[in-house]
Amino acid sequence: MSARRVVVTGAGRGIGEALATAFAARGDRVVVNDLDAAAAEAVAARIGAVAAPGDAASGEGIAALLATARRELGGVDLYCANAGVAPKGGADAAPEAWSQAWEVNVMAHVRAAEQLLPEWLERGEGRFLATVSAAGLLTMLGSAPYAVTKHGALAFAEWLSATYRHRGVRVHALCPQGVRTDMLASTGEIGQALLAPTAIEPAEVAEAVLRAIAAEEFLILPHTEVADYYTARATTPDRWLAGMNRLQQGLEEGAAR
């Protein structure tokens, strides 16, 4: 088992922390990134990794993060674009919410790939993990910005794999449903009603990631039932949308009681 050089964004807590912990336990050398400097440093200290707090969405922030990884690790073998935001609202969500979701959930992936690809293509290998969420395969009632941008994150991961797979770049799209994290806790009544009953621990997500990387699987589905939902969405879209709308109506009726 060879050690990898791994960067995990949004690793101060939740899925990112679990990923960083699992990679470090495997023997990988890890850089822990998070906007919350104290959280990043605490996780790095606990698992014996390098803390690199900062903004992993802007081009400048990603450049600084990769500079740290190259200085401390000598390069990057696996980049986990895990940081994400889930603003509430529909078409009426504030422009700032749409902009933040686009920057963090999509453009952070694009900018990281832009800076990593020259290095990876030159040496003929590299690995990119995008934390997409099942919302990217399906949708997320209650948060149009999240649903739309997670679809974008999935589309970019697919494009990246289709374009560079033959040149040694491997891509994975991590698509869990509910995970017991601060983000789930912040989703409000709709998110809790939809996701909490089948929510799993972040460590279970990390275990699924390790298995999928070993098996070279693009889609990582810690909730296996998501594959059936995705199939129904693709093959019977009207029926699937009608079912989702009934679910929305049920949530509205429950909130009105």
Tokens coding 5: 């050089």
Tokens coding 207: 């275990």
Q: How far apart are CA 252 and CA 109, in angstroms?
A: 34
Q: How far apart are CA 54 and CA 61, in angstroms?
A: 6
93-99, long-range: CB < 8 A, 24+ apart = 93/143, 93/144, 93/145, 97/145, 98/145
The CB density around residue 237, as the number of other CB atoms within 10 Å, is: 10
Q: How far apart are CA 156 and CA 162, in angstroms?
A: 10
From the list 79, 146, 164, 229, the catalytic residue is: 146
Pairing type for strands 78-81 and 50-51 reads: unpaired
Is residue 248 a contact partner of residue 189, using CB atoms and an 8 Å limit? Answer: no
> Residue 172: helix, strand or coil by DSSP?
strand
Backbone angles phi, psi at 173, to 5 degrees: -115, 115
Residue 164 appears among annotated catalytic residues = no
Which residue numbers are catalytic?
146
